[in-house]
Structure formats: structure tokens, C-alpha cells
Amino acid sequence: MALRQRPHLLLAKSKRLCEDRVSPRMRHQKKTVKLGRTADHRRALLANQVCALIEHQRIKTTLAKAKAVRPLAERMVTLGKNGSIHARRRALAVLRQKDIVKKLFDDIAQRSAERNGGYTRIVKLGARKSDSARMAFIEWVDAEYIAEEKPKKEKKAKRKESEAEPQQITPEEEQPTQEEPKAEASAPVPEESTAPPAEEPKPKKRRWFGRKSDDS
């Protein structure tokens, strides 16, 4: 029996090899963006990114990660709009942080109650200097407040204002300055004590080790 089945197995194997050479298998119905990580690592990365987005309202990351974070973040908002205990447990199973899940259900989901999808926005930035990776902001569309990162320019403006204020002199302040030299003229000028001239440093004598001097 084994001898009779053997030619069929060889024929099927050769046919499979020919098919692989002619038309290689394509990635149909496999749309997962792997991001160069394993499944567990990728799952933890996306969960942490969503937690940071919920906490800070906006995060800066690469464009590929932002596109991968968006579906998960919007799925969490959909669970938050449901508001049931089962939905809360499902969100907690993904995010693993009770405080973040509470903020999601109580704050972010309530702001997006009237919106049917499209809860996040991706703003493309330039390339990163180190490796030229494409960067982007991902933020909530209904965010209440987004902090602007411009502390350096404000400090410079305050310094310029503080420097410009003492230069302005009012006419009332100019009058007492004219009377000051008269009072100084009447007062006796103390004689300045003449300081003795500084002594010049003497040149150091060089010592020749290992040689006898001519005087000896």
C-alpha cells in the first residue's frame, strides 16, 4: 500500500514546489502592521501609547506607530461610550491601568458622545534628525486643552522687557542729577594714597642636575 501511494505523494510535492516558484504566496487578509516587533511586544507597545494619549491628550511618535495606535484608541473610546461593566473590563484587559480606564470612561468618552467615529487626529511633522524617521502628533479631536511647548521664547521676551525699562528716563528724574555735581564740588576731595610700584619678579635660576658648576 505504501508503494502505491508513494508516487502520488511525490507528484503532489513536486506540484506544490512548482506553484511556489511560479506564483509565491501573498499576504492576503493579513493587514497587521508588525512594527518590527513580536506580537506580545507590539500589543504592549500599543497599549502604552494609548495610555499616554489618554493621560496627556497628545503624544509625539513616528507616523507608522501613530497609524497603528489610532484604531486601538478609537476602539477604546467606543467601549467608553458603551459604559457597561463588561465594556470597562474589556478596556482594562487591554490597557492594564485602572486610573487610565477611569479617565477614559468618565472624561474622554463623555466628550465624544455626539461624535460617530473619528475621535483622533494625526498631524504630520518633519523627519527626525537622527534617523530621518517620519514623525507625527496624534491627539484627540475633542481635546479641551493642548499645552504649547514654547517656554524659551517667552523667557527671552521677558528679559528684553526688563532690559528696556531702566533705559527710559522721565524729565522729573533728570533735574536732581544736575544738582549733584554742585554738592560734590563743595565737599573736599580726599587725596588718593599713592600705592608703591609693584616689584618685578626676579628671574629664576636654572639648576643643572648631573653637572658640576665651573666655580667649584
Instruction: Give 64-121 pLDDT, tens digit per residue.
Output: 999 999 999 999 999 999 999 999 999 999 999 999 999 999 999 999 999 999 999 9
**Closest by CA position to 100, among listed 48, 58, 62:** 48
Which set of grid coordinates corresponds to residue 26? 501573498
Q: What is the pTM of this model?
A: 0.57
Q: Which of 42-46, 127-131, 191-195 is least confident?
A: 191-195
Distance CA 144, CA 78 (A): 19
Beta-strand (E) ranges in the chain? Answer: 58-62, 120-127, 134-140
pLDDT at residue 44, rounded to an integer: 97
pLDDT at residue 1, rounded to an integer: 47
- Which is more confident, 164 or 109? 109
| Distance in angstroms between the alpha carbons of the first and the last residue of the chain | 120
* Residues contacting residue 87 through CB under 8 Å, at least 6 positions apart: 79, 80
Using DSSP bridges, classify how beta strands 120-127 and 58-62 pair: parallel, antiparallel or unpaired: unpaired
Which set of grid coordinates corresponds to residue 52? 499616554
**Closest by CA position to 139, among listed 82, 61, 76, 78:** 61
| Spacing of C-alpha 180 from chain mean position | 58
pLDDT at residue 27, rounded to an integer: 83
Beta-strand (E) ranges in 15-100? Answer: 58-62
* Residues contacting residue 55 through CB under 8 Å, at least 6 positions apart: 100, 103
